[in-house]
Amino acid sequence: MNREVFAARFAASTRAAWEVAQSLVSEDLPEPLVFRVRLNQSYDGHPPQSGELRFPEDSARNRAVELSRCDAETVVAELWRDGHVPEWVNVAAVSETGTATVVEVVCCGRFTSDDSRLYHSEEGTPPFHVLSPVLPPRHDGTPFSIHTRVECRHGSDLEPLATASDRVWSLTLMTEEFDDRLLSAVPNLPSLEIFEHRACTIEAEALSAFLRFPKLRILRLYLGEPGAFHAGAGGGRLDALADLTIANLPSRPWGQEMLTEAAPGLTSVHLSANESLWLDAPFSSALNSVTLTAANVAGSARLPAKLDRLDICLTSAADEDLMTLLDGVRCIRSLSLRGTPVTDAIVPVLERYDLDHLDLVDTEVTAPTLSRFRADHPGTRVFPRPVPSHPAT
């Protein structure tokens, strides 16, 4: 594709994205545009087609940081690569800074010079697809704030929140800048329900940093350097918190015993570690969903007696480890052991549960054992699915 054509289509599409957003949101959006680019956002597990270019390095975190706030010329220079362009590009206005509207540019990772392979030709500006800002929950058609969902990649991204703090429903922090000290710079957000910290560097009494958000229901913490992390809340309580994710936990005691005290209303917990996941306290009986991901589990873990959903991926665990972990669990509706190297020996333990769903993909349970389990438990949906047989011809 000719660069000038690509640049003209980009300009027309981003202007249309601004117009769509302005028709929906309550703020008067500034007409100047700045851009946040997300590269390599397609699923590309299949082999490349002839003439297709891919750039795995575009997935590096530093690329996302470099392109988190840029001008139109930079975007065109990044996406037009010697006549090759992404097969699809989604554009949507997602925020405003007070002086400019932020347009997010989400890009396919497959680049082509063949215009016939570009998506969205029916819109007249392929490969661009104009989207609205994400609508708020239970949207009834009335104007909503463009600050309903906020993503911060720099400390300066917080500045617009000073005048929109009561309108923020979801906040995502994408930078390790927000440690214990800078997190206090986040204004009080009385309507905040979802907080996601993708590069969390909070240390001791970590959950206390979120006590300022009375409606917080979902908290997702992806720890950068987990060494000093501890899950205390300084004696406070996150009474509205129902769903907690903590990823990259340290391989030592980290305060699991504090979760029930700090968040008594938790119903769903997702915990992961790169090596051993340390669990040294009983989980709350109020939980109905637990996800554990690590090489193995250390400590004396005690799961709730009854769970709607249990997902376990322990890449270095043996059958005996899973038997110990499941000891005391009397009822499970959905169980996944995907990626855990259990063998046929675990199946008698699983048969004591009246399962609706069982996932044994990428385990060492054999096909004959799976076949027998399916025959004995026809009401259980089992993965992997059986390979269909074809009559001989």
As beta bridge partners, residue 104 has 36, 92
pLDDT tens digits, one per residue of 78-136: 999 999 999 999 999 999 999 999 999 999 999 999 999 999 999 999 999 999 999 99
Sheet holding 170-173, edge to edge: 149-152, 170-173, 194-200, 218-223, 243-247, 268-272, 289-294, 306-314, 331-336, 357-359, 381-383
Calpha distance 213→207 (Å, rounded): 11
Structure tokens at 288: 């109905």
Per residue of the chain (393 residues), what is the pLDDT tens digit?
999 999 999 999 999 999 999 999 999 999 999 999 999 999 998 898 898 999 999 999 889 889 999 999 999 999 999 999 999 999 999 999 999 999 999 999 999 999 999 999 999 999 999 999 999 988 999 999 999 999 988 777 778 788 889 999 999 988 776 666 667 778 899 999 999 998 888 888 899 989 999 999 999 999 988 778 999 888 999 999 999 999 999 999 999 999 999 999 999 999 999 999 999 999 999 999 999 999 999 998 899 999 999 999 999 999 999 999 999 999 999 999 999 999 999 999 999 999 999 999 999 999 999 999 999 999 999 999 886 655 555
Cα separations in angstroms, 31 against 38, 72, 76, 98 = 22, 13, 19, 10
Q: In the prediction, which pLDDT does 370 show?
A: 97
Calpha distance 136→276 (Å, rounded): 39
| Angle (deg, nearest 10), helices 72-79 and 3-22 | 130
pTM metric for this prediction: 0.90
- 56 contacts 39 by C-beta, under 8 angstroms: no
Q: In the prediction, which pLDDT does 390 show?
A: 54
Q: In the prediction, which pLDDT does 311 show?
A: 98
pLDDT tens digits, one per residue of 263-285: 999 999 999 999 999 999 999 99
Q: In the prediction, which pLDDT does 177 show?
A: 66
Structure tokens at 23: 């028709």
> 292-319 burial by CB neighbour count: b if 16+ within 10 A, else e?
bbbbbbbeebebbeebebbbbbbeebbb
Calpha distance 287→264 (Å, rounded): 10
Calpha distance 193→170 (Å, rounded): 6
